[in-house]
Amino acid sequence: MKILLLSLSLSSSSTQKSSLWVFSSSHFSNHKKIECKRPRSSMGNLACIPKKELKGGIGSKSKRSSRKMAAEEELIHRQALAMAIQQHQLSQRFEGSMSRRIGSTSSRRHNLSDRFSSKQVPLDLDNLETKKIVLVHGEGFGAWCWYKIIPLLEEAGLLPVALDLAGSGMDHTDTNSITTLAEYSKPLINFLQSLPDDEKVILVGHSCGGASISYALECCPNKVSKAVFVSATMVSNGQRPFDVFSEDLGPAEAFLKESQFVLYGNGEDRSPTGLMFDKEQMKGLYFNQTTPKDIALAAVSMRQIPLAPILEKLSVTPENYGTVSRFFVQTLDDRMLSPDIQERLVRENPPRGVYKIKGSDHCPFFSKPQSLNKILLEIAGFNTAGLAENEMIDREKDV
């Protein structure tokens, strides 16, 4: 199994560097095969330090160079991802063989049918407008979070690509230097602009990644076939991504003054630059239905959230943003973006289709990957030309 990760990073000059990563589980057993440097993670560092490195106590001075520490932390990340991939593959084989051997009761069908749901959505690959799906992560995540979804889409014959936005995943941009949504979304825009003139993609954005794909629809509408917002900030013109969360978090100005999770990367006398929830807060908000293994992966992989992009008012127009068919995926056990808020987003900015996943937390790529895969396959094969201008489809996945 191979996972395609595209990391585009911007240097301090205007020169752009791009790297194409193809990961497989075998790569992680010999880490010398992949030569890349990963920025320090903001979570879970202490729990992953070998015992021999703790002999001097937490306060002892380390003689290791920062380069060596970054390399070791990168290795930790790859090992965690390799373990998660291997566990996912083993669980698929085990449950598949058990269901064939034992047969199915109604409860077993309910629990296992979703495991193989991608086979229940046949695609006419020759008649698809595009086979390429670009997966855009949400705040703090990276391309790594799609590791369960990518092989499922590939199995169906599609071509998934997962991107790292600026300051995320393996992108080396300093998150404290990101001051606009355009800077944050630059890797996505660069990728779209690099496509051949006649090629389009399906954009999939999670959480605050919804702002990035909205920005992409405005900048490159001719490159996008459809846009899928997965429990995402599908905001209207003039709204800020943060406004979506304001019902729970309060007004942005008050939150920035009172929150203990706000970071001042450029000094406390200057504007805040980032946001980082602690591990328990993240688990409660994002991962209330996610397995411990995926929570552990997130703990060593998530990075600081750049604050400026989610505080910026989005500017979109009917002539660009409005020409692309949008779909919204609701997650019904979501504690980060509540179902009520998701319903409000759909009412205020109606998409062409709405899908609902029961039992999913804010991260269905972890908690309900098969359900999310089934929805993405259905959207990929969906012909919007058959819908009237104001007609909407509504699907609920009872899994």
Q: Which residues have a catalytic role annotated?
A: 207, 334, 362
> Dihedrals φ, ψ of 249, to 5°?
-95, -15
CA atoms 123, 128, 134, 136: torsion sign:
negative
**Whether 7 contacts 18, CB under 8 Å:** yes
> Dihedrals φ, ψ of 263, to 5°?
-115, 145
- The closest of 122, 108, 115, 113 to 93, measured between CA atoms, is 115
Residues 146 and 162: their CA atoms lie apart, in Å, by 7
In total, the chain counts a number of residues equal to: 399
- Which amino acid is residue 220, in one-letter code? C
Residues 146 and 161: their CA atoms lie apart, in Å, by 9
Residues 251 and 350: their CA atoms lie apart, in Å, by 24
